[in-house]
Copies of this chain bind each other. A is one copy, B any other.
């Protein structure tokens, strides 16, 4: 149950968004490497989510409110809340989801 994050294979889920995923019974953690300029189209899902920028600048829009996020900020995204974003620089992000993102398994 000790994992080296760098040893987890990356999957490109949408163009410019490459993720490494850790799944527990009830949650998923996603480590993203994102190309500058890559865009996350608006979407929503039943999973609760948090998003933290580990490196870079990411413009995050949650239910119509946009903020430029940098390390030190966490975004809490309730179930079914609409969200979208754009990497303003190359970024590393950490997302958490509850329950498990089965589509990332």
Give the number of residues in A that approach B within 8 Å (Cβ atoms).
31
Cβ proximity bits A88-101 to B, threshold 8 Å, 1 near / 0 not: 00000000101100
Contact A1 B62 (CB under 8 A): yes
Contacts from A to B (Cβ < 8 Å): 1-6, 22, 24-27, 29, 48, 50, 60, 62, 65, 67, 69, 72-79, 81, 96, 98-99
Contact A22 B72 (CB under 8 A): no
How many copies, total?
2
| Complex Cα gap A26–B77 (Å) | 12
Smallest beta-carbon distance A92→chain B, Å: 12
Smallest beta-carbon distance A13→chain B, Å: 19
Contact B72 A4 (CB under 8 A): yes
